[in-house]
Amino acid sequence: MPHIPVLLPESVKLLLEAPSLADGGVVVDATFGGGGHSRALLQEGTEKTTVIAIDRDPAAVSRARSLLSEFPSRFRLLTGNYADLSHLLIGIGIERIDGLLLDIGLSSFQLEDEERGFSFQSDGPLDMRMDPAVGQPAAEIVNRADVRTLTRIFRNFGEEPYAAAIARRIVRQRREAPLRTTRELAVLVEEMVPAHKTFRRHPATRVFQALRIVVNDELGALAKVLERGLEGLNPGGRMVVIAYHSLEDRIVKQFFRQAARGCVCPPKIPVCVCGRRPRVRLLKGRGQRPSDAEIARNPRSRSAVLRAVEVL
Ligand SMILES: C[S@@+](CC[C@H](N)C(=O)[O-])C[C@H]1O[C@@H](n2cnc3c(N)ncnc32)[C@H](O)[C@@H]1O
């Protein structure tokens, strides 16, 4: 199934209405995926709007061919990690941008390709690397980390209540034979999570999420791109982030709130001495969620939260 873009009109409108884009400029789609957002930005932006797309997954980049031929002068595509945003852009001579979109997480293409090892619903190698040439596959962690490390990973990055029991079970199992496939891991996790706790989600959801986050250093990359993005945006430029789970959304929310904060002097002090000025204006203070109609059309969107800021 193709990837259905999430919160598409909302995010594109926010980006294209950025004051600094009024006379044209550069919008970066740092999570190209299936190209849904890039396409809409190109179609709805003016002739003076250039879109630069980035994805760390070489398979995503290979899907960009038709956009490259339809918009040869307004579309560029880079392969790389958005954590390296500034370097990637400087590499093509761009220092300032007017919009940045982060639609984080996985595309349906990645989830549905069983060879990539992201899905507990199919059987593939335990890999989970977004860029198969970078980092260690999930199997390395699952078969080598000790019980304490595995517990910490499942607890911290999956918020898994049965983290320790699952970790112990994995270590016991691998004494017989290493875990090699997504199905083997999913079955083990299913055994350890009581059936009545799996009402809404597959029992392996949290463990797979945790491993994926660690394999790809997803939270580290997110923290970096938020800061680099803010530094690179022109005044009046906008950043829009769509997150799909609470760990990511918390990082985005706190980062935006901090950036929007002005003076932090205690209320007793009559005149500001800290000199701190807000760097951004919050555009969606409480975050925007997909409508019921969008969730019905695309159930994958149900956990999405969009947050956006404008640089002052
Ligand atoms: C949810 S999909 C984006 C879907 C896209 N907006 C669309 O409408 O088709 C997320 C994409 O971001 C990519 N990605 C995730 N983390 C990344 C990172 N640190 N650097 C670059 N790309 C990343 C993934 O490989 C994936 O293709």
| Predicted confidence (pLDDT) per residue in 140-157, tens digit | 999 999 999 999 999 999
107 Cα nearest atom in ligand 1: 2
Q: For residue 163, what are the CA distances in angstroms to 71, 146, 149, 160, 245? A: 48, 13, 10, 5, 18
Distance 173 CA to ligand 1 centre (A): 33
CATH topology of domain 117-216: DNA polymerase; domain 1 (1.10.150)
Domain span(s) for CATH 3.40.50.150 in the chain = 8-103+218-311
Distance CA 116, CA 204 (A): 17
For 79-114, the pLDDT digits (tens) are 999 999 999 999 999 999 999 999 999 999 999 999
Q: Please give the pLDDT value at position 149.
A: 98
Q: Say how many Å lie between the CA of residue 248 and the centre of ligand 1.
A: 14
CA distance 33 to 55: 7
Q: Tell me where in the chain the CATH 1.10.150.170 domain(s) lie.
A: 117-216
pLDDT value of position 152: 98
Q: Is the CB of 107 under 6 A from ligand 1?
A: yes
CA of 106 to the centre of ligand 1 (A): 6
Is the CB of 85 within 6 Å of ligand 1?
A: no
Alpha-carbon distance of 110 to 119, in angstroms, equals: 9
Q: Give the C-alpha separation, 283 to 301, whole Å.
A: 21
Q: What pLDDT does 262 receive?
A: 87
Q: Is the dihedral of CA 127, 216, 78, 101 positive or negative?
A: positive
Ligand 1 within 6 A of 83 CB?
Answer: yes
Class of 8-103+218-311 per CATH?
Answer: alpha beta
Q: In the chain, at which residue ranges do the beta strands (DSSP E only) sit?
A: 25-29, 49-55, 75-79, 97-103, 233-243, 280-282, 305-311
